[in-house]
Amino acid sequence: MRTLTAVNICLYFLLTVTSASAEPAQSPIVKTVTAEQVSAALKEAGYKVEFDKYSDGDTYLRVEMVNWYVIVDFAGCTPQHNCGGVRFYTLFPKNAAYNLDLANTINNVKFATKASIDAEGNLMIQLASYIGGGVTLENIKQIANFFQGELKSLTK
């Protein structure tokens, strides 16, 4: 009887340890990202992503969100293209309704998304994130989803 109890306790312990170790691994925390890492994360989240370059050769991503192309560019990059900042932005073409009053209203209502009017009268909506303190690539997906939600609310 004692042997049976000891066997049951051992089986219980093994099952408990095995099920606890079967939990999915946490994404590693990164303090810089590359365009390739961000592209892979966004594709994994279901976004259509294309690489492009500015005239100065810096890489940016074109991401399709809510029937708009969103630019994802990078800041604080090393020569090896490890970057400490990511910015999502899009431009809405010049429209009489796009003015400083609208931009100020958006800025007062939205928590992290910011609006501005460029020199040509286009409405720019952007969300910049400093990641030097550490994020996971899952956080990058969440930032993209948040920005897409903000665009949806603004285009209703």
Average pLDDT (129-137) is 92
pTM of the entire predicted model: 0.80
The residue segments making up the domain with residue 67 are 26-154
Question: Would the pLDDT of 12 be above 70?
Answer: no
Q: Where residue 134 sits, what CATH number does that domain have?
A: 3.30.1460.70
The answer as to whether 109 is a domain residue is yes
d(CA 46, CA 67): 14
Question: Would the pLDDT of 93 be above 60?
Answer: yes
pLDDT of residue 21: 47
Average pLDDT (143-150) is 96
pLDDT of residue 49: 98
d(CA 116, CA 107): 9
Confidence of residue 148 (pLDDT cuts 50, 70, 90): very high
Average pLDDT (90-112) is 93
Is pLDDT larger for residue 81 or for residue 142?
142
Is pLDDT larger for residue 8 or for residue 89?
89
d(CA 51, CA 74): 13
Max distance between CA atoms of the chain, in angstroms, equals 86
pLDDT of residue 70: 97
The answer as to whether 78 is a domain residue is yes
The answer as to whether 62 is a domain residue is yes
Closest CA to 38 of 142, 151, 152: 142
d(CA 74, CA 128): 9
pLDDT of residue 154: 86
Average pLDDT (100-119) is 94
The answer as to whether 15 is a domain residue is no
| Pairing of β 68-77 and β 123-130 | unpaired
The answer as to whether 10 is a domain residue is no
- In the chain, how many domains are there? 1
Tell me the HSE value of 139 on the side-chain side, using a 13 A CA sphere. Answer: 18
Model pLDDT for residues 51-79, shown as the tens digit of each residue: 999 999 999 999 999 888 999 999 999 88
Token reading at 81: 């293209």
With a pLDDT cut of 90, the percent of the chain lying above it is 71
